[in-house]
Amino acid sequence: MRTDPIVNIRESLIFERSTPGKTAYSLPPLDVPAADPRSALEPALLRDEIDDFPEVSEFDIVRHFTRLSTWNYHIDIGMYPLGSCTMKYNPKLNEKLWRIPGISACHPLQDDSLAQGNLQIQFELQQILREITGMAGVSLQPAAGAHGELTGILMARAYHNSRNQRRKFVLIPDSAHGTNPASAAIAGYQVRSIPSNADGRVDFDKFREALHDDVACLMLTNPNTLGIFERRIREIADLLHEKDALLYMDGANFNALMGYTRPGEMGVDVMHLNLHKTFSTPHGGGGPGAGPVAVSRRLEPFLPVPLAAKKQDGTYCLDFNRPQSIGRVRAFMGNFGMHARALGYILSCGGAGLKEISETAVLNANYLRHRLQGLLDLPYRQDSFHEVVFSDKLQTKKGVKTLDLAKRLMDFGFHPPTIYFPLIVPGALMIEPTESEGLQELDAFVEAMQSILREAEENPEIVVTAPHTTKLRRLDETRAARQTVLRWRRAPEQDKTPREAARAGD
């Protein structure tokens, strides 16, 4: 078990450090008339406690926030094997690059002539993503994978509309990420689910049965959410094209394929990439992502406007002259900060580096699979790509469920894997180590899992009551997400804080 020190200080002393007269920062003397900023505010927006700013020293603040940061799990602390999320390392070089003032401080309304370097970044990223995917055109606008899906489906609709065809259905395998059916439904299509076969791949016969003239497209994740490659993708594309239907590839798992194969050569018409997964830009916590879409020739006219373009004289501009475009899907050019980071990452890795990334991501997933199979049930035994999906079938006999294993991992200093997804695996544990992890960390994870699985056999009570070392134990996760409480408040039974005591005259 990893034993990071847990600082055992009374919570009230951590959150209530205020002492009258302490200051962390002194402003220079005023050289303009003093004004009360509150007089400019709408009185209804003012809270009584506004006068009640904490009075703390700089040291108090540094300690407070440093301590809080140690209560939170993050990729810079340890392995984050959240399957399908690709929680890889975000190299600090990307951040350094993005903070170059000409990049980070450029206003999106700045004239093209004053933003040439940034337009070049976008143009080159579009070109590089075209090259990596083998597709004809790329838009960087979508702000996330799901947003890329919606953009792709809207382009599919524009394509069929341009041919006077009204299509009603989108086919989606039952192993798909939940965002796929949601995107298709938001775009106005009815979703038909295609079952997976015993190999964990899309059931080809069932797909063929469902393919009629009213199908707009199939959304296929490759490798799929079981971590398995859809080998018949070329045949699937040909069958779709015979009906003038399109193949959408969810490319969120592209870190398993980069440098080895290109969706453009598989017959894919439209796909999205998650820059915040494959190309290491930060994600999580609701922060900005980027989900560029790449399209084949037949969908190129429908890409969102504007695109970054290079003129004949070698300068860069925004190209709005695209009459069949579906229009804008995002303000300005999307999350430009992510584009700059992703380009930096791609260029610093180079072509050979990107190929090595895929190789290592697949190797790491297979290493974990090899070390854990037998201890955990492996429902689909086909070769794994970037992730491996186990189930809790062997442990439920002792009353230990996937949720318990995940919670107990936290006691061992690891973030849990994705649980209960994909839905076609009851009690799923979906583990994606990513290429960032070295052998030492993978072995530490395996040892933690081995210990927990031994406990599940010999002392299940400790597993089903985990976690034991975290600040909070088992939460009502739905309420915690929907009604987040962001302020610390003293529990009624806790001692008064020094400030409260002073106020009460104790």
Ligand X SMILES: Cc1ncc(COP(=O)(O)O)c(C=O)c1O
Q: Which is nearer to ligand X, 250 or 392 (CB)?
A: 250
Nearer to ligand X, 226 or 354 (CB): 226
Burial of 311 (0-12, 13-18, 19+ CB in 10 A): exposed
Residue from 144, 202, 406, 449 binding ligand X (CB under 6 A): 144
**Window contacting ligand X (CB under 6 A); options: 93-101, 139-147, 360-368, 430-438:** 139-147
CB of 120 to ligand X, least distance (A): 26
Q: Does 253 bind ligand X (CB under 6 A)?
A: yes
The nearest distance, CB 84 to ligand X, in angstroms, is 4
What is the number of the residue whose Cβ is closest to ligand X? 145
Q: Does 145 bind ligand X (CB under 6 A)?
A: yes
Q: Which stretch binds ligand X (CB under 6 A): 69-77, 205-213, 245-253, 377-385?
A: 245-253
Minimum Å gap between C-beta 177 and ligand X is 4
- Within 159-178, the residues that bind ligand X by CB under 6 A are 177
The encoded tokens of residue 363 equal: 């190797």
Nearer to ligand X, 85 or 340 (CB): 85
Q: Which of 411, 397, 393, 390 is CA-nearest to residue 462?
A: 411
- Least distance to ligand X, CB of residue 225, Å: 6
CA-to-CA separations, 477 to 262, 407, 410, 417, 431, in angstroms, rounded: 39, 12, 15, 16, 21
- Chain positions 274 to 293 lying near ligand X, rule: CB under 6 A, are 274, 289, 291
Binding characters for ligand X, 207-226, by CB under 6 A (x = yes)? --------------x---x-
Instruction: Choose among 337, 345, 343, 325: nearest CA to 143.
Output: 337
Binding of ligand X by 85 (CB under 6 A): yes
Query: Shortest gap between Cβ of 73 and ligand X (angstroms)?
Result: 18
Closest distance to ligand X from the beta carbon of 1 (Å): 29
CB atoms under 10 Å from CB of 232, counted, come to 15
Q: Is 452 in the site for ligand X (CB under 6 A)?
A: no
- What are the DSSP E strand ranges found in 269-424? 270-272, 293-295, 307-310, 316-319, 388-391, 418-419
Closest separation in Å from C-beta 271 to ligand X: 11
**CA dihedral in degrees (92, 256, 416, 76; nearest 10)?**
-10
Is there binding between residue 307 and ligand X (CB under 6 A)? no
Of the candidates 213, 261, 258, 269, the residue with the CA atom closest to the CA atom of residue 236: 269
Residue of 502, 503, 495 lying closest to 9 (CA atoms): 495
Selected range binding ligand X among 68-76, 234-242, 247-255, 463-471, rule: CB under 6 A:
247-255
Q: Which of the ranges 144-152, 342-350, 360-368, 439-447 carries the binding residues for ligand X, by CB under 6 A?
A: 144-152
Contact between 252 and ligand X per CB under 6 A: yes
Q: CA separation (Å) from 4 to 75, 309, 373?
A: 15, 51, 29
Using a CB cutoff of 8 Å and minimum separation of 24, what contacts does 187-195 make? 187/150, 187/153, 187/154, 187/157, 188/157, 189/153, 189/157, 189/216, 194/218
Which string of DSSP letters, residue by residue, matches 4-24?
-------HHHHH----TT--S
Contacting residues toward ligand X, per CB under 6 A = 84-85, 144-146, 177, 179, 221, 225, 250, 252-253, 274, 289, 291
